Amino acid sequence: MMHDLILKNIAKHIVLDEAEKACFLACLKLKEVEKNEFILREGQICRDINFVVSGTLRAFYLDKTGKESTVMFAIADWWVTDMFCFVNEQAAMLNIEATADSCILQLQKEDLDRLYIQLPKLERFFRIIMQNAYIREQLRVIQGLSLSAEERYHNFLIKYPKVAQQVKQKQIASYLGITPEFLSTIRGNKAKKKKIS
């Protein structure tokens, strides 16, 4: 059942009784998203936080020259939104696009705010989710400043093996802050090292 995954995700951090689960699930909206379809475009008001049931999405920033910078990927059992804009109900800075046919559960901000009052333990859950996201981003920034591109790519493959299999190499390059050509060189060097050893 599609709700099993999100309930397991929540159960990692808090316990909901059956009535609380029903209250939470009643606020979710199921959305099927086709590959290359956007669930959010830069400039739109960001009103939803999204839980990925299946498929893969990516959030990216598009600069004035049209260059894409991937901010994050989201696979099954992950949450994705433009957090700053979601919390502040402002125009999105990011685009969120499905990189594969996907199924998501959406929770609107007004429903989440109401749930915080009805089910205070959900506030704890989302605080933990946001803390974990902040920690991931802090580590990513530190790695970007302290590690070589090769090391960052190696760490990405270890930490996110499923993502690496589900997205384009140019999107991984964008996430790592390198060109697709340089990523290709890194991958070629890695393959040569495997042959030698």
Q: Cα(171)–Cα(177) distance, rounded to whole angstroms?
A: 10
What tokens does 170 get?
């140019």
Question: Stretch 147-165: mean pLDDT, rounded?
Answer: 92
As a whole number of angstroms, the distance between CA 21 and CA 7 comes to: 8
User: Could you state, in order of their start, the residue ranges of all structural domains in the chain?
Assistant: 2-126, 147-197
State mean pLDDT over 14-22. 97
The CATH code for residues 2-126 is 2.60.120.10
User: Which strands sit side by side in the sheet containing 38-40, from one edge to the other?
Assistant: 38-40, 95-98, 56-62, 68-75
pLDDT for 190:
75
- C-alpha 47/C-alpha 85 separation (Å) is 8
Q: Are 197 and 92 in contact (CB under 8 A)?
A: no
Supply the pLDDT for residue 197.
Answer: 61
pTM across the whole model:
0.91
- Over 90: is that where the pLDDT of 195 sits? no
